[in-house]
Amino acid sequence: MRTPRVAIIGAGQSGVGMGARLRRAGIDTFRIYEMRAGIGGTWHANAYPGLFCDVPSRSYQYKFAPNPDWSRLFSPGPEIRAYIEQVARDHDLPRNISFDTEVETVTWRDTEWEVRTTTGDTEAFDFVITAAGALVRTRTPAIEGLESFAGRRFHSAEWEQDAELAGKRVAVIGTGSTGMQLTRAIGPIASKFELFQRTPQWVLPLINIPYGPVAKRIMRRFPFANQFAYRFWQRVTEGTFGVAVIKAGWQRRLIAALCRAHLHVIRDPDLRRRMTPDYLPGCKRLVMGGGFYQQFRRSTVSLVDTPIDRIEPRGIVTADGVLHEQDVIVMATGFSTNRYVLPVEFVGLGGTRLTDRWNPQPEAYRTVAVPGFPNVFMLIGPHSPFGNQSLFTISETQADFAMGWIEGWQRGEFDTVAPTEAATEAFNRDLRDALPGTIWTTGCDSWYIGADGLPAMWPWPPDRHAEMLAQPELGHWSMERVNGHEQRQRAEHVEGRS
Ligand code: N01
């Protein structure tokens, strides 16, 4: 058996899952590059008050590490981060992680990948796994005068933990999932709270029941109960949301009815009208949670839907000339999406750059690999079903698929493997044909839409992703022997023994 050297880019939930997968297969020769100081990826970066996950805890976890101790049906952010850290520790991953280390370039050098970090260090690998997340680079709109604001100002994913909020005048710009969660958390404590809305969002009510000591004891005593709960919640969410996004039917009607009924929590008819979207629920990413609309019953909480004109030292000036004075402005304005592992510069066979190949829009073979980039596998890559499925489920499916190839390499079946152009083109043609039938194309602007005008999403039932990646279709892959590869391996083996 050969020993593969594996680079993983990112120590978030997918990178940790891949590291654990390698460790369980007895492979220790891997390095995880993490640009932040800690483990958790998005759950490390996002540390704003009121952060919750709106996917049920029992299916937002690794299948191989069921957690009996979730405190609620929907977990608070810090609990998810602690869970991912614990799984990393349980698999002894920290010793393989280079923290505060950003990968700059990944270059194919005849027989292997050379990974170069921003500090100039290089290391060679046989495989590269990208696990860099989908919502990473923050997006701050270029509002005139933004820099001149005299108070505290930051993006929701770059939270300044020492910022005082209680008794302060706080503005949140943006009404996505983050804006909603911030309103619930800060609305009750600020002396004045204003939510700046450009586009109203549909909000699906959720009840976040706590799990008591009995439920935790049962889950600890009977691990199969946790596995059953995973399956149960997976079926519930994929059978409703996962289907509603790809075709019309009772699931779509049910979600729409719940969102519309929820609006009646808003007592003031004028406010209700201003908060009612003019597109179908689910076209933009659904905002989910209870207790949001109720905040606007407080005399200190208000919605501002007059467009922002500019920002000046004292606060935000709207197009009607009104100055909204603030102590703190939070930009809950989302992320630059459709970037995946970019801006890492990947240079593949024949000098092909991933940035060029992905212009205007990233595409992959079945979400996991790109022709011309041998032995590179992507977790949460282009068109992954993140609108239909838990990210843990997706990345575990993809990690298992990558692992299958790594094991084939260990057995010496090939030196390099990459999907063919023909198979990749056929897959993306089918994908483009199917996308217009989905909810994301029904007339709204959202972060799902790529530069080609199509949603960068998965247009089929979530199960189909696992089916497509259950076994590689060998005719879709090009496997090669590389001159010099065996000699290098033998030399390293001898060196290792001597
Ligand atoms: O970001 P968003 P987010 N002036 O892009 C507004 C996940 N997530 O951080 O709709 C005024 O959704 C923009 O307005 P518009 C989840 O997948 C999950 O909230 O473009 N406003 C919009 O309202 C989510 O989808 C959880 O007109 C401006 C907002 O900013 C994704 O992260 C929790 C503006 C951006 O909304 C991103 O959510 C939190 C401007 N110039 C997040 N520019 C879970 O619970 C932008 N906006 C799992």
Rounded Cα gap, residues 266 and 283, in angstroms: 22
Compute the distance from residue 245 Cα to the ligand 1 centre, in Å.
Answer: 18
> What is the Å distance from ligand 1's center to 482 Cα?
46
Give the Å distance between the CA of 405 and the centre of ligand 1. 37
Of ligand 1's listed atoms, the one at least distance from the Cα of 46 is 39
State how far the Cα of 340 lies from the Cα of 130, in Å rounded to an integer.
Answer: 9
Which of 43, 72, 139, 177 should be mutated for ligand 1, with most atoms under 8 A from CB? 177
Residue 282 CA to ligand 1 centre (angstroms): 14
Query: Ligand 1: which of 79, 198, 449 to mutate, most ligand atoms within 8 Å of CB?
Result: 198
Pairing of strands 30-33, 97-98: parallel
pLDDT for res 431: 97
- Compute, in degrees rounded to 10, the torsion defined by CA atoms 458, 432, 399, 3: -170
| pLDDT at site 492 | 58
**Position in ligand 1 atom list of the atom nearest CA 331:** 30
Q: Please enumerate in sequence order all residues whose Cβ is within 8 A of that of 217, keeping only pairs 6 or more positions apart, or say none.
A: none
Using the structure block, give the residue that is written with the tokens 């949301």: 241
pLDDT of residue 369: 98
CA of 333 to the centre of ligand 1 (A): 5
Please give the number of the atom of ligand 1 that sits closest to the Cα of 335: 5
- For residues 361 and 371, the answer to whether their CB atoms sit within 8 Å is no
**Quick one: average pLDDT of 161-175?**
98
Residue 391 has which token pair? Answer: 């990210």
**Alpha-carbon distances, residue 115 vs 68, 93, 97 (angstroms):** 38, 19, 14
CA of 177 from ligand 1 middle (Å) equals 6
pTM for the full predicted model: 0.95
- pLDDT average, residue stretch 240-255: 96
| Contacts of residue 282, Cβ cutoff 8 Å, sequence gap at least 6 | 202, 241, 244, 245, 252, 255, 439
494 confidence band (pLDDT: 50, 70, 90): very low
**pLDDT confidence tier of residue 379, bands split at 50, 70 and 90:** very high
pLDDT tens for each residue of 171-229: 999 999 999 999 999 999 999 999 999 999 999 999 999 999 999 999 999 989 999 99
Mean pLDDT (the chain, rounded): 95
Q: Which two tokens stand for residue 137?
A: 């680079």
What does the buried/exposed string (b/e) look like for 147-167 if buried means 16 or more CB atoms within 10 Å of the residue's CB? Answer: eebebbbbbbbebeeebebee
- Protein residue whose Cα sits closest to atom 41 of ligand 1: 141
Instruction: Please determine, for residue 491, whether its predicted confidence score (pLDDT) is greater than 60.
Output: no
Domains and CATH numbers, the chain: 6-137+336-497 (3.50.50.60), 146-202+248-331 (3.50.50.60)
Give residue 1's pLDDT band: very low, low, confident or very high (50, 70, 90): confident
Atom 44 of ligand 1, nearest CA residue? 53
Q: Which residue has the higher pLDDT, 492 or 251?
A: 251
Two structure tokens written together for 89: 């520790």
Closest CA to ligand 1's atom 36: 176
Q: Give distance in angstroms: CA of 285 to centre of ligand 1.
A: 9
What's the 426 CA to ligand 1 centre distance in angstroms? 33
Pocket lining for ligand 1, CB < 6 angstroms: 52-54, 135, 141, 156, 173-179, 196, 198-199, 285, 308, 332-334, 445, 447
Tens digits of residue pLDDT in 94-111 = 999 999 999 999 999 999
